[in-house]
Amino acid sequence: MNTLRHRLPVATLFAVLFAASNAVVAQEPDLRCLATDTPFNLVKKYEGTYKFTLDNDLFTNRDQDYTNGVKMAWSSPNLRSFQDDPCLPPWLQQVGRLFDSVYPIRIGKEEIEGNVTVTLGQAMFTPRDRKQAGLIVTDRPYAGWTYLGFGYNTRSSYRLDSYEINLGVVGPWSRAKQTQSLVHRVRGIEQFQGWANQLGNEFGAQLVFERKYRYDFFNSDRQRAGFGIDLIPHAGISLGNVATYANVGGEIRMGWGLPDDFGTSPIRPAGDNSAPRAKGAASFVRDLGVHVFASVDGRAVARNIFLDGNTIRDSHSVSKRALVADLTAGLAFNVKQYKIGFVRVYRSREFEGQKTSPRYGSLTISGPL
């Protein structure tokens, strides 16, 4: 009964949003879904996945470089299952039909599925010396980045393709200074004094594509309840004034009840666990699963605005390194459709003269509401 009371307000909100979306896009919205389905049933019918990720270097007793990142995401259910349903907002029906025109329904006997994601995030970067109010020419610039992201994913049991666009602002408009000041004030942490030297305001855009494969050992795609090991290599590319790079890497997982997803990562474009749930797969609804994992991601970087500085105005910058790598290790639990994971990240030095290698922790919680 308590669970029902908590979910009903969310269900009602979703019912209103579905009706509003139909009303905005179509002149004569089809309200048969509202006549035949209760708001609670609508939420169950279109149950997507919500995800919250927090990156912070205080997990590693530091407060510098990439010092904080937060990202909230919603991933739709498999659109192929709902594209002709009158209850689905028209824009999602159109995405589902576009998906049908681009991707085959089946490869061999296996159905290809797809979904969309919407994300909201913020990241902030600071030099080592928090007490220096003037410009520190030998260290990285102060910088903030607040963005809205839209993604489109297609998957089979062994492959995930992710397309993503992030649009936002760098500089004072990102409100990163205010966010950090609020958190430090609440937690009683000494404030950084040099935010007056942060990068200037600039609109940012980032286009990302990444492909992942998954190779399973000691388990099958449909029966992943026992002990298993899988390997998830990836490769991708990012283009834009915020970040331009090519990346390649992989993740290895080992444990019981491995989830039917494509890994766990800190905040990284296209690195999210946002795959649509495979039809008939039992792994992500097991009562309990636990696994350890480790991953590596290497990048050949042509542009990083947080080191290279503003694109269209003069600003502070440092001499970035063209090759950067992240090593991660973590632990994850999945209970039915819910998952929580913690990752430690070790990054190679990103610019010439950087005193120490960055490191931070990342906490991820995901599942339906």
Which carries the bigger pLDDT value, residue 167 or residue 312?
Answer: 167
Give yes or no for a contact between 332 and 265, defined as CB atoms under 8 angstroms apart. Answer: no
Give yes or no for a contact between 226 and 198, defined as CB atoms under 8 angstroms apart. Answer: no
The amino acid at 319: S
pLDDT score recorded for residue 57? 86
Rounded CA-CA distance 211/45 in Å is 29
The amino acid at 98: L
* Mean pLDDT of the 159-172 span: 93
pLDDT score recorded for residue 108? 63
* Mean pLDDT of the 178-194 span: 91
Give yes or no for a contact between 203 and 169, defined as CB atoms under 8 angstroms apart. Answer: yes
* Mean pLDDT of the 136-146 span: 95
Task: Say which range, 37-46, 88-97, 134-143, 317-326, has the weakest mean pLDDT.
Answer: 37-46
Q: How far apart are the first and last CA of the chain?
A: 15
**Residue for token pair 């430090």:** 184
Most confidently predicted of 62-66, 83-87, 108-112:
62-66
* Mean pLDDT of the 69-97 span: 72
pLDDT band at 23 (very low <50, low <70, confident <90, very high): very low
Rounded CA-CA distance 246/239 in Å is 9
Give yes or no for a contact between 255 and 290, defined as CB atoms under 8 angstroms apart. Answer: yes
Which pair of tokens denotes residue 222? Answer: 């449909």
pLDDT score recorded for residue 152? 86
The backbone torsions φ and ψ at residue 126, rounded to the nearest 5 degrees and listed phi first, read: -140, 155
Cα atoms in the Cβ-side hemisphere of radius 13 Å centred on 142: 24
pLDDT score recorded for residue 95? 67
pLDDT band at 48 (very low <50, low <70, confident <90, very high): confident
* Mean pLDDT of the 77-103 span: 66
**Residue for token pair 């590693």:** 60
pLDDT score recorded for residue 82? 59
pTM: 0.81
Rounded CA-CA distance 238/241 in Å is 10
pLDDT score recorded for residue 175? 95
The amino acid at 53: T
Three-point CA angle 66, 143, 194, nearest 5°: 100
Most confidently predicted of 74-88, 255-269, 332-346:
332-346
The backbone torsions φ and ψ at residue 164, rounded to the nearest 5 degrees and listed phi first, read: -145, 145
Count CB-CB contacts under 10 A for residue 16.
Answer: 12
Q: Please determine, for residue 136, whether its predicted confidence score (pLDDT) is greater than 90.
A: yes
Task: Say which range, 179-188, 216-225, 281-290, 303-312, has the weakest mean pLDDT.
Answer: 281-290
Q: Please determine, for residue 19, whether its predicted confidence score (pLDDT) is greater than 50.
A: no
Region of 149 on the Ramachandran plot (φ > 0 left; ψ -120 to 50 alpha; else beta): beta
Rounded CA-CA distance 80/87 in Å is 14
Give yes or no for a contact between 24 and 325, defined as CB atoms under 8 angstroms apart. Answer: no
Task: Say which range, 39-48, 222-231, 254-263, has the weakest mean pLDDT.
Answer: 39-48
